Amino acid sequence: MLLPSFSEMYEALLNRDTSYEGVFVVGVKSTGIFCRPSCQARKPKAENVEFFDRSAQAIVSGYRPCLRCKPMEALGNPPLWVRNILDEAERREYKKLKDQEIRELGVDPNRMRRWFLAQHGMTFQSYLRCLRIGISLRNSEKNKVVDRDMDSGFEFLSGYGKAVKKMKGKSTSDNAYKDFLKVDRWLGPLGPMTIASFQDKICLLEFSDRRMLETELQDLCKRFSTQVLFEESPVGLECKTQ
């Protein structure tokens, strides 16, 4: 989808223009939150925002939904059964919700999957995984180690905080820069994808909603005796643009 110009979208954001609902969502770089155009929250400076044509793209880019304007919901009230699951996901800080746990909340996991695919172009589990990786990415940018309780399923990523600190001050031409498992994700034509490279070679290209994705990344770290660094690699960028 071709977005309007940056200036037009930023003006719509400042005016809380509801006519742009469904046209774009906005990611706020300083907070890691994404909002709908009509969000009533205080508006960020232009240099602190980027725009996306849909929520899925914002999530894959590392943003989590605003709890105030709730951009993951259609305008108006979503079905109660969807709202209950989303509330539970927020309460758990987007830790994994197993199918049995979803059933215990009175919802068929397949029904939830179909609703998310129809509304957002990704499955519910992919949504949760992308949010967890996005939170990890935001923390890595601040040189923070991921909290093991919050991380939920990405415990092995706690080591990448050290990797970021070790890399501080090094340029992308340094050989040491290649010695991490570089992980990035993007919204491909078939859905959210996760890509990992080591020493400028692709070693994983997988759907982000794959159940064993975390285990695969952990196995790669062990195989190469390395740590995860959330960063776009040149070979990863080339893969995205093919």
- The span from the CA of 185 to the CA of 191, in Å, is 11
Span 69-102, pLDDT tens digits: 988 876 656 788 888 898 898 888 778 888 999 9
Structure tokens, 177:
């820069």
Q: Residue 163: what pLDDT?
A: 43
- Give the distance from CA 36 to its chain's centroid: 16
- The span from the CA of 163 to the CA of 144, in Å, is 10
Span 166-190, pLDDT tens digits: 444 444 444 454 578 888 777 676 6
Q: Residue 44: what pLDDT?
A: 92
pLDDT over 60 (residue 6): yes
Percent of the chain with pLDDT over 90: 21
Domains with residue ranges and CATH for the chain: 6-65 (3.40.10.10), 142-240 (no CATH)
- The span from the CA of 33 to the CA of 69, in Å, is 11
To the query of whether residue 35 is one of the catalytic residues in this protein, the response is yes
